[in-house]
Amino acid sequence: MTSFSIHGVGVSGGIAIGQAHLVSNALLEVVHYQLPSHLIDNEIKRFNDAITTVKLDLEQINLSLRNNAPAELSAFIGTHLMMLADKSLSEIPKDIIRNEQCNAEWAIKLQMDDIVDQFEQIEDEYLRERKQDVIQVVERIIKVLLGHPSQLTTEQQTSALYQERKVILVAHDISPADAIQFKQHQFAAFITDVGGITSHTAILARSLNIPSIVALQRARDLINDGELIIVDGGLGVVIVSPSKEILAEYKLRQEQWELEQQKLKRIKSTKAVTIDGTNIELFANIEVPEDIAAVKASGATGIGLYRTEFLFMNKREMPDEEEQFIAYKTVAEAMKGAVVTIRTLDLGADKQMNPDSIVNCANPALGLRAIRLCLSEPQIFHTQLRALLRASHYGNIKILIPMLSTLAELRQTKLLLERAKLSLRKQNIPFNENIALGGMIEVPAAAINAEAFAKELDFLSIGTNDLIQYTLAIDRTDDTVAHLYNPLHPSVLKLISMTIKAGQKLGKSVAVCGEMAGDAKLTKLLIGMGLRQLSMHPSHVLSVKQQVLHSQLAKLNANARKILGQTDLEKIEPLVVKFNSR
């Protein structure tokens, strides 16, 4: 067969070579048919039995997790069990069966489509990706209803091929529960038609350190079961039926990559210091308290971004103060005095985080989200601020405010923070009176006015993902313009530089916590621009640290000035490549 390549989004680096194993997509097999009245009760029982089977399967998977399994896995299974118990999936489909006299598979698929449509209205990329969890749970239910819940037979699971890590999973999507089962058979890689940088499949792939590519669109249609394929997670490329020459080249690359990974582990305990003695702080980003294990394994010296949205996900009621307090306190204590920067609620246009009451917004990226939402819901914000303050008594917590665009928003926030402090003082509840307050610079207006924000804040953190999106007027989730999303655009670099200079002028620390921080190809440029704090996914810490250890500040500064002086993107990109080759 003729060799060809498919391009997607690489979410976990590395190279895998093996035979494709196509995972079926049960949703494509659903058909609609009418039922006579006397069979409706039986259909509802069939649906209930399927829910029970899936629940038992998930609970069994959770129990079978090894003690050294990544903490994310259990958290994701918990999320799916919580969705399964929600009335929107466990009860409403039964009403559809009764009212439309249809089969259970069709009823649950109709309900899933409705929920997914509502998730599409959520502006926040991380939360919007949670629609995939809904799809994955529904697909498990449908698999049971169709009579083929298991993807692999016992014979397949124990075959020598699987034992040798030479099988690559090819799917429309892979649920966390499936990924856990697949992990036990040591597959070489995951590739999927759908998903994004923040999808659970991507998060799992990074935590398991397995090469992974998502958003391949039609990989499952184009690749045959058992076909030899190469997965290059770094480049986001899948090569199907490679020639002998390409196969030989990639086997060599694979050996080199694995050798590099082993070498990186040697610098875990080495301090991130440049050749000429400048210390660079490498922090980690987390979503849940269980991520602490990955943070410590990475050698990160603190947490630069704790996204608190996970606590609010998939719930019809906001988590109360005690639940939030315990989550924040757990992280603070686990880090034993190291910095823990916690970002306040950063939701999109979905005020209540209730799928039944999502507010439709024509342009959600520009709508009621993040600090705007918190200020419009002061009681929700008050509860979170009290929980954060209480937790600050147990560790080195800093508070980070997302999506600031005006000083008025900042001053309102500071007023609400003081009210939360006052309420705790009245109850004699201890907290850190001098807790640091920082702001995220992710709106161009804030970057341009960074000096004014720096005067009223203790620190700044640049959220490059949104800063790039807003600066270039590009929706990161829109495939038709995704190729225009570029962190090296001269306007983006100038806004980052302005923010860094504002912090330097006023003696305030500035960090980057977006995807740019974890891209080792950009490390030297960011340091040369003046950054001394970078926060990233734990899996990227060692590769970034390696760049720091090979950096000489005087040269970096001169090269960075040269790049910042450019106005043409096409001239900047080769300069960055040259920058890293020295």
First vs last C-alpha separation in the chain:
41
Candidates 185, 200, 537, 540; catalytic one? 200
Distance, C-alpha 392 to centroid of its chain: 25
Whether residue 353 contacts residue 377, with contact meaning beta carbons closer than 8 Å, is answered with no
Helices (H), 65-91: 71-85, 87-90
Cα dist from 490 to 201, 448, 471, 503, 521, whole Å: 32, 14, 11, 20, 17
- Alpha-carbon distance 340 to 317, whole Å? 26
- Alpha-carbon distance 345 to 378, whole Å? 12
Cα dist from 124 to 382, 454, 467, 522, 526, whole Å: 21, 25, 14, 25, 26
Candidates 21, 80, 185, 513; catalytic one? 513
Only one residue has tokens 């819901």, namely 377
- Alpha-carbon distance 530 to 524, whole Å? 10
Contacts of residue 394, Cβ cutoff 8 Å, sequence gap at least 6:
329, 332, 333
Distance, C-alpha 75 to centroid of its chain: 14
| 172 part of the active site | no
> Which sign, positive or negative, has the C-alpha torsion 510, 513, 514, 516?
positive
Whether residue 252 contacts residue 529, with contact meaning beta carbons closer than 8 Å, is answered with no
- Alpha-carbon distance 404 to 170, whole Å? 41
Nearest to 388 by CA among 329, 338, 347, 330: 329
3-state secondary structure 194-218: CCCCCCHHHHHHHHHCCCEEECCCC
Nearest to 355 by CA among 108, 79, 130, 109: 130
- Alpha-carbon distance 116 to 131, whole Å? 6
| 200 part of the active site | yes
What's the chain's length in residues? Answer: 582
Whether residue 302 contacts residue 513, with contact meaning beta carbons closer than 8 Å, is answered with no
Strand partners, 281: 533
Only one residue has tokens 């600031």, namely 404
Strand partners, 399: 342, 437
* Active centre residues (catalytic): 200, 513
